[in-house]
Structure 1
Amino acid sequence: MADELKRRLVHSSGAGLVALYLLADYFELGLTWPRFQVLMVVLAVGTIGLEFLRLQVGLDWQIYDKLTRDYEQDQFAGYGYYMVSMTVAVLLFDPQIALPAMLMLAIGDPISGAVSDDSLKFVKGPKVLVTMFVVSAIIAAPFLFEYPLAVLAAALGATIADGIKVRIGDYIVDDNLTIPIYASLLAWVVIEFVPV
């Protein structure tokens, strides 16, 4: 249980990237959106590099025992998907879409995990789904307030990604990969194609 709490705290720390961008933008410190995109690419490439060292070279830092789950010992870990998906969202979408999608992963996912019974169902229970939807909508509202339907669409995307497991063959797609992408994509579709 202590390791699970540590994982959730580390998961939530990704909100710091959003805070970094927002504060730098507010105080005009020069962290433009293109520079933030470069930062995210560097972080994602670094994460992939760490995973390569862990899986192929045998780098075995003790922190990996605390922050990875048993099933991740011999495969690409969730934190790698986390950084890749946030980076994809930042590269493909504007800040008003990408930033709340990042927060849905960083904050919404650990909160929904806290109310989950950790069972291996392919569709999570109503309490988890409603929690993720409400938290995600609250996160999206300040960024997408001009587009109320996009708030709901982003929350729906995050909820689907978090609440429904996708299986491809024997592989289950990690929700750390899908939450920001589904949320961003659905919000973008509504903004682009649904009349206000």
Structure 2
Amino acid sequence: MADELKRRLVHASGSGLVALYLLANAFDLGLSWTRFRILMVVLALGTIFLEFTRLHLELEWWVYQRLYETLTREYEQEQFAGYGYYMLSMTVVVCLFQSAIALPAMLMLSLGDPVSGTVSDDTLKRVKGPKVLGTMFIVSAIIATPFLYETPLAVVAAALGAALADGVTVQVGDYIVDDNLTIPIYAGVLAWLVVTFV
């Protein structure tokens, strides 16, 4: 239980990236959207490097091993971990979309996913229950509103994308697609479609 709480807190800490961008803009510190994109690519590449060293170089540093044992789930010990998908999906939406779409999509992953996790029973289901789906949708809509208030339908679309990604398990062969990868991407794509074509 304590490790799960730590994982959720680390999950939520990704909101700091959004806060960094917003504060830098508010105080005119020169962090343009292009520079933020570069920063996210660097962070994603760093994450891939860490996962490569963990999985293939078998480093035995005590701190390194202890950190991974605490912050990764048992099934992630021998495969690419959820935090890697987390950074990759955030980077994808930042590189593909404008800030008004990418930033709330990032927050839906960093804040919405842990909140919906608190009402979930943590069992693997093809489709999660209405309580989990509804929680994720409402939290995501609240997150999206300050960014997309001029296009209410985009708020609904983004929240729907996040809720579907969080609540519907996608399996490709024997592989279950991590929702850390899909939440921002589904939310971003659906919001973009509405903003662009509706």
Asked whether the two chains share a fold, i.e. TM above 0.5, the reply is yes
SS at match of 2:176: strand
Alignment of 1:1-196 (within 5 A): 1-60=1-60, 61=64, 62-194=66-198
CA distance in 2, matches of 1:55, 1:25: 38
Q: TM-score, normalised by structure 2?
A: 0.97
Could you tell me how far 1:121 is from its partner in structure 2?
0.7
Name whichever of 53-62 and 13-22 sits farther off.
Answer: 53-62
Q: Given residue 73 of structure 2, which amino acid in structure 1 is its aligned partner? A: R
Could you tell me how far 1:59 is from its partner in structure 2?
2.4
* Cα deviation 1:53-110 (Å, max 9, x = unaligned): 0000012411000000000000000000000000000000000000000000000000
* Cα deviation 1:98-151 (Å, max 9, x = unaligned): 000000000000000011011111100000000000000000000000000000
SS at match of 2:24: helix
RMSD: 0.5
CA distance in 1, matches of 2:84, 2:105: 17
CA distance in 2, matches of 1:120, 1:148: 32
After TM superposition, the runs of 4+ consecutive aligned structure 1 residues lying more than 2 A away are: none
CA distance in 2, matches of 1:122, 1:66: 27
Gaps of 5+ in 1: none
CA distance in 1, matches of 2:69, 2:29: 37
* Cα deviation 1:135-175 (Å, max 9, x = unaligned): 00000000000000000000000000000000000000000
